[in-house]
Amino acid sequence: VRAVVAAGVGVVEVVDVPDPLIEEPTDAIVRVRLAGICGSDLHFFHGKAPVEPGGQLGHEAVGVVETVGRHVAGVRPGDRVVVAFHNACGACWFCRRGQTQLCENFRNLGSGAFGPGLGGAQAELLRVPNADTNLLRVPDGVDDERAVFVSDVLATAVYAVAIAGLEVGDTVAVVGAGPVGYCCALVAREAGAASVVVIDLDPARLDLLRSAGIDVVDANREDPESALAERTEGRGADVAIDAVGDPAAFASAAEVARRGGSVVVTGMYTSEEIELQLGVWWARAMSLRFTGVCPVHAWWDRAMAMVAEGRLDPTPLISHRLPLEDAAHGYELFAGRRATKVVLAP
């Protein structure tokens, strides 16, 4: 079958790989219908995260179950499913607490050393271990494009908003208008925020939010801290979400949050450091939560319910729909920030 693989720094190729097979009776094989290119795929593309040449890529997928092992009970061949972007065992100490992102057997799809033994989602076929835990059926009314967001970005947004402790009537600031920020803003609005404000520097991305009816602040033209203060009688946001993963975004989230408020970091960090002024955070009685990788298994059916009922529509984020064979072009567009979201159809 055809699959996207890493072929060196900044190069991906679509090549033939062996058909994945049922290895354990708890495995399923999924025929991919749509796969996303995600910001974290770029870490491998840019050589910042370890993947060997020939390593398969991609972790966001919706597809149809092709075959299942003898001990898969939850899905059957023919079921349309979303694949969890990271594979959890479902049985360890952390999984039993719903913290599947800390699974003792954590493996990420399509991510080299972080997913040993696993293929990638940008492929025609994909083996999914522990299928009962790592596949979620897609209701009939939800199309592939909506469903693919549930495998990662939208579940992440539901989780980030949940741990923020959002209450009805709160003001929420989201730093970053990329796919995660977009979804966080939509989820926060539906989850009780009286007002949601997204902060970014990219006018095109902000336009996308504006089209979705979300209030935006262009940080080139307006000071975010003042903008939030104006909207909150001087207090600042009850909840501020860093949906970027960059120290400047963190600083901005910290700055726009009110005293006694909550900062949630869902944008991915690796080796970044910042100076944290302990006295300021203490005097302001702040709360700071890091999502880490989303424990998608505990949150994705909530994300699915929201798209199924039409409460959220993430598809305006999709700027490019390409055949799988054009994956290289898709990576180029996305790496060059000329695409908001690229989806690949095998």
Q: Which of residues 87-106 bind a second copy (CB under 8 A)?
A: 89-94, 96-99, 101-102
Q: Where are the alpha helices (DSSP H) in 49-152?
A: 93-96, 131-134, 144-150
The C-alpha R_g of the chain, in whole angstroms, comes to 20
Q: Which stretch binds a second copy (CB under 8 A): 10-18, 45-53, 307-315, 320-328?
A: 307-315
- What does the alpha-carbon distance between residue 98 and residue 96 come to, in Å, rounded to a whole number? 6
Q: Shortest approach of a second copy to residue 321 CB, angstroms? A: 27
DSSP designation for 237:
E
- What does the alpha-carbon distance between residue 141 and residue 145 come to, in Å, rounded to a whole number? 12
- What is the DSSP secondary-structure string of 290-320? E--S--GGGTHHHHHHHHHTTS---GGG--E
User: Shortest CA distance to 11 belongs to which of 42, 50, 49?
Assistant: 42
Total residues in contact with a second copy, by rule CB under 8 A: 80
Kindly identify the residues of this chain, within the stretch 14-73, that bind a second copy according to CB under 8 A.
24-26, 70-71, 73
Q: Is 273 in the site for a second copy (CB under 8 A)?
A: yes
Q: Is 111 in the site for a second copy (CB under 8 A)?
A: no
- What does the alpha-carbon distance between residue 171 and residue 195 come to, in Å, rounded to a whole number? 5
Q: Shortest approach of a second copy to residue 337 CB, angstroms? A: 22
Q: Shortest approach of a second copy to residue 117 CB, angstroms? A: 15
Q: Is 9 in the site for a second copy (CB under 8 A)?
A: no
Residue 187 Ramachandran class (φ > 0 left, ψ -120 to 50 alpha, else beta): alpha
Q: Is 279 in the site for a second copy (CB under 8 A)?
A: yes
DSSP designation for 57:
B
Considering only 303, 317, 327, 342, the residue that binds a second copy (CB under 8 A) is 303
Q: Shortest approach of a second copy to residue 73 CB, angstroms? A: 6
Kindly identify the residues of this chain, within the stretch 176-215, that bind a second copy according to CB under 8 A.
187, 190-192, 194-195
Nearer to a second copy, 8 or 260 (CB): 260
- What does the alpha-carbon distance between residue 318 and residue 227 come to, in Å, rounded to a whole number? 29
Considering only 67, 229, 269, 315, the residue that binds a second copy (CB under 8 A) is 269
Q: Is 250 in the site for a second copy (CB under 8 A)?
A: yes
Q: Is 141 in the site for a second copy (CB under 8 A)?
A: no
